[in-house]
Structure 1
Amino acid sequence: MKVSDKMTRDVRLASPDDSIQQAARCMAECDTGALPVGRGDRLVGMVTDRDIAVRGIAQGKGLDTRVHEVMTTDVKYCFEDEDLDHVARNMGEQQVRRLPVVNRDKRLVGILSLGDVAMGEGPWPAGDALAGASRPGGAHSQTGGPRA
């Protein structure tokens, strides 16, 4: 099975120039905890509810703070034509719960979450991915500003 068979295609994007309040409102409307950040259809980052809370609000930044100030710029992604089992294993190894999905031109075409992976026959590969993503990660860099 390919990533394109399970990914969510209807993905809302945040702009790097959006405020964190706009991003949070979009997350609430979409009932999600993360948004890809793009310029046009090019992926330039990811922003999560945790980024907004820890890198934004906890650091005393206001609601008008721009997404690019709190987002993660070192974005892991996968290709739509990759094998789903392989990508799920990588999600566990990299400890990520969501991956933007791009085509071979590196244009954003969807997002793959552990929930997407779990919708299918049996617990695999979702079990491996969840086990990996849930293990303690050691030193964290959420408060150190955007990761490059």
Structure 2
Amino acid sequence: MQTIQDMMTRDVQSISPQETVQRAAQMMDELNVGSIPVLDGHRLVGMITDRDITVRSTAAGEAPGQARVGDVMSTDVRTCAPNQTVDEVLGQMGDVQIRRVPVVDEASHEVVGIVSLGDMAAKHSAGVDHTLEEISTPAAPDRSTTGSQTRH
């Protein structure tokens, strides 16, 4: 049975919550990725995605050079362990409609990798179609109700 450590990308770049949204977007462009783990020291505190930047920051009119990663990142981050089975993690990804999951070492609690639906599709095709279908089902818009933004 294949485990996540067989699929994951190991050299994971991260960003600090104090960095600007513009720097996060530049890193995504340089690395050709759609999300970056946000670490405070060695502790995972969130994920920032291209969608977070577009929907939570740009659409709200925030200046990318001034808005902070910590203000727009997703904080409810699902993680997995290197020894979890691929099928188990695929199921979790489908349940919560996510495409990428940070891999966290159970002993040190440090991010040791990241696994994406694309990684699994390339190396483990079983179950990927069903997970992709679940992830692709439209969800309710993610709208912040904090701050001075008013929706009409």
Query: TM-score of the superposition, structure 1-length normalised?
Result: 0.91
| Counterpart secondary structure, 1:119 | helix
Cα separation, 1, equivalents of 2:123 and 2:128: 9
Percent identity between matched residues is 43
RMSD: 1.3
Cα distance in 1 for residues equivalent to 2:85 and 2:116: 15
Quote how far apart the aligned CAs of 1:144 are: 4.1
Instruction: Give the alignment of 1:28-39 within 5 angstroms.
Output: 28-39=29-40
Q: Distance in 2 between matches of 1:40 and 1:95?
A: 28
2:70 pairs with 1:103: no
> Hey, what does 2:150 align to over in structure 1?
none
State whether residues 103 and 109 of structure 1, in contact with CA within 8 Å, keep that contact through their aligned partners in structure 2: yes
Residue 49 in structure 1 maps to residue 53 in structure 2: no
Is it true that 1:6 corresponds to 2:7 in the alignment?
yes
Displacement of 1:142 in angstroms is 4.1
Query: Which residue in the other structure is 2:149 paired with?
Result: none
Structure 2: how far apart are the matches of 1:34 and 1:144?
23
Query: Residues 59-109 of structure 1: CA distance to partner in whole angstroms, max 9, x if unpaired?
Result: 111122110010011111111110111111111111110001101032100
1 CA distance for matches of 2:75 and 2:24? 16
Residue 123 of structure 2: SS of its match in structure 1?
coil
1:131 aligns with 2:148: no
Q: Which of structures 1 and 2 has the bigger CA Rg? A: 2
Mapped partners of 2:144, 2:31: distance in 1:
26
What is the distance in 1 between the residues matched to 2:138 and 2:102?
23
Measure how far apart 1:116 and its partner are.
0.6
Contact conserved, 1:51 with 1:142, CA < 8 A, in 2? no
The aligned length equals 143
* Aligned mates of 1:39, 1:9 — CA distance in 2: 19
Take 2:127 and 2:20, find their aligned partners in 1: how far apart are those partners?
36
* Aligned counterpart, 1:119: 122
User: Unmatched 5+ residue regions in structure 2?
Assistant: 147-152
* Deviation at residue 50 of structure 1 after TM alignment: 1.1
For 1:23, the equivalent position in structure 2 comes to: 24
Amino acid aligned to 1:132: E
Trace 1:58-69 onto structure 2 (pairs within 5 A).
58-63=59-64, 64-69=66-71
Q: Is the 8 A contact 1:19 1:66 kept in 2?
A: yes
TM-score (norm 2): 0.89
**How far did 1:48 drift?**
0.6
